[in-house]
Amino acid sequence: MKLQAQFPLLGLNTLAIDSVAEYFVSAESIEDVTAAINEAQAKNLDIKVLGGGSNVVMADCVSGLVLKYAANDCELISEDNEFVTLRVDAGFEWHSFVLYTLAHGWYGLENLSYIPGTVGAAPVQNIGAYGVEVKDSIVSVSGVYLENAESFTLMSDQCDFSYRESCFKQALNGKTLITAVEFKLSKKPNVKISYAPLNKMAQELGVPSPQLLSDWVVSVRKSKLPEPSKLPNAGSFFKNPVVSISVFEKIQGEYPDIPNYPQTNAVKLPAGWLIDQLGLKGHSFGPVSVHKKQALVLVNNGGSGKDVEAAAAEIKSRVKAKYNIELEQEPRVFC
Ligand code: FAD
Ligand code: NAP
């Protein structure tokens, strides 16, 4: 385990930003992580933890140490007639893990198929898609604190999970490296098909098995979302705003067609629709364009992190001017 200086990050982020890390290391074990933390402290380096790089915006130069955890085992911890509990290393690629669970007849993650990234990043923003959030299957999250390399385990109810949020983005933001996640999955299928594209397919083809549902999710996503390897992007660039009922009613008065999803005492509005109504689908801000099929996705055509941030700031300000809604950026900035 040796820190590498001036390490290129171009291939390690899905926005394909041509960035350089002051130092980089890929840790294969917890011992490697401890050694890397000690060395960073000795060199007075700030540590940034990187997974698959699918939810980050890189500056031209990322200061300090970029630390990746590469261990990727999966261990069956316990099993009964109904459930299994698995302990999965943070470096396991997320979609491969979903396919692995389905191949074993362990269910609950099928709606989260084809989300890029790693198992370790999944709890960070409580990844979600098609009405399912990863928190529903998480038992606990283990890792180390970056300030002293001490280990921790937080039970699911201690992780402050909410819509695309967790303590790892809030109170513990930038302070931990997650090394493993424990999942409880069901042996009995219980498919969730409330989202329109899945519901439509179920009406035409019948209620799917979890494996088939995963295939449907993959095909819907492929038809709508750009592949980062071809059109570099970080998925949804903004979170869907959740506004109070009174704010929603005011907006709906002006825009009666606005799609909306009621929550407890609040309403979720699709940020993609808000951006689309500004006529921005397919629009370019220099090297960064709004994807032509999904206005929530920004595609980087060779721009820098600054170009991406500038495009995002312009979109935010136009949304604010038109609807008086403050969009919140989803990808984290590494600088
Ligand atoms: P990174 O981008 O490397 O890191 C993201 C954040 O997590 C950073 O703050 C980083 O420091 C932190 N982090 C990463 N690993 C660790 C670790 N081991 N310990 C501590 N902190 C860590 N997200 C969804 O929720 N739902 C979707 O449907 C979805 N679809 C997407 C589609 C596309 C095409 C793309 C490009 C992205 C999509 N995303 C989606 C966003 C992204 O895939 C997820 O947020 C994913 O969990 C990020 O994983 P990663 O390993 O790439 O994390
Ligand atoms: P979509 O189906 O066009 O829907 C637009 C938005 O409306 C979604 O973001 C979704 O919110 C919301 N929505 C749709 N149907 C809903 C329902 N029945 N109940 C509550 N909310 C509903 O979205 P899409 O872009 O194709 O994405 C499909 C799914 O993949 C979504 O869940 C989305 O979050 C997820 N996704 C996430 C990312 C990311 O980077 N975070 C990228 C691509 C796709 P939610 O986002 O709250 O589900």
E-assigned strands of the chain? 4-8, 20-27, 47-50, 56-58, 61-69, 74-79, 83-89, 128-129, 132-133, 138-145, 151-155, 176-186, 233-236, 242-243, 261-263, 266-268, 284-285, 288-290, 297-300, 332-334
Residue 247 belongs to what domain range?
233-334
Domain end among 69, 85, 113: 69
Asked if residue 204 is part of any domain, the answer here is no
- Kindly report, residue by residue over 48-83, the tens digit of the pLDDT: 999 999 999 999 999 999 999 999 999 999 999 999
Are both 246 and 322 inside the same structural domain? yes
Half-sphere exposure of 332 (CA within 13 A, CB side): 20
Mean pLDDT of the chain: 97
CA nearest neighbour of 123 among 85, 78, 79, 170? 170
- Kindly report, residue by residue over 149-169, the tens digit of the pLDDT: 999 999 999 999 999 999 999
297 C-alpha to ligand 1 centroid (Å):
14
**Mutation test of ligand 1: which of 115, 166, 223 has the most ligand atoms closer than 8 Å to its C-beta?**
115
Q: Is 231 helix (H, G, I), strand (E, B) or coil?
A: coil
Are both 9 and 90 inside the same structural domain? no
Asked if residue 219 is part of any domain, the answer here is no
Residues with CB under 6 A from ligand 1: 14, 49-56, 69, 90, 115-118, 120-122, 124-125, 127-129, 168, 176-178, 225, 228, 233-235, 332
Are both 17 and 81 inside the same structural domain? no
Q: Give the tokens for residue 210.
A: 């979890």
Q: For the domain that residue 299 is a member of, what is the CATH number?
A: 3.90.78.10
Are both 80 and 182 inside the same structural domain? yes
Are both 95 and 175 inside the same structural domain? yes
| Atom 25 of ligand 2, residue of closest alpha carbon | 294
Half-sphere exposure of 331 (CA within 13 A, CB side): 29
Domain end among 186, 211, 243: 186
Asked if residue 224 is part of any domain, the answer here is no
pLDDT band at 261 (very low <50, low <70, confident <90, very high): very high
Asked if residue 284 is part of any domain, the answer here is yes
Tell me, what's the pLDDT at 293?
Answer: 93
Q: For the domain that residue 63 is a member of, what is the CATH number?
A: 3.30.43.10
- Burial class of 254 by CB neighbour count within 10 A (0 to 12, 13 to 18, 19+): exposed
